[in-house]
Amino acid sequence: MTLKELIYAEISKIEEDNLDELYEFVKQLAIAKSAAKPKTGILNKLKRIKIQAPVDFAANVDLYMNGEKNLDNIH
């Protein structure tokens, strides 16, 4: 028997008037689990990247790469 089948078997044993309580429990569990999952897509990961560099770094990256400018003045 699969786990899902075992769960269904246990649910079938519950009295009809208690099913609303079970439903609320399952619904709250689903909400808690979906809220606990961090969204770790590539775009969310990229948003968290912080770069410390001079303000002209993007425009002059080639100068920084070949050493004509240095990174000593990072604020």
The answer on pLDDT for 57 being more than 60 is yes
Average pLDDT of every residue of the chain: 87
25, 34 Cβ separation under 8 angstroms: no
Rounded Cα distance, 21 and 27, in Å = 10
The answer on pLDDT for 26 being more than 90 is yes
Question: Which whole number is the average pLDDT over 43-49?
Answer: 86
In three-state secondary structure terms, 15 is coil
In this prediction, residue 33 has a pLDDT band, given cuts at 50, 70 and 90, of confident
User: What pTM value is reported for the model?
Assistant: 0.43
Kindly report, residue by residue over 60-69, the tens digit of the pLDDT. 999 989 989 9
Rounded Cα distance, 12 and 32, in Å = 25
Note the pLDDT of residue 73.
Answer: 59
- Measured on CA atoms in the order 65, 69, 74, 75, is the torsion positive or negative? negative
Rounded Cα distance, 7 and 22, in Å = 12
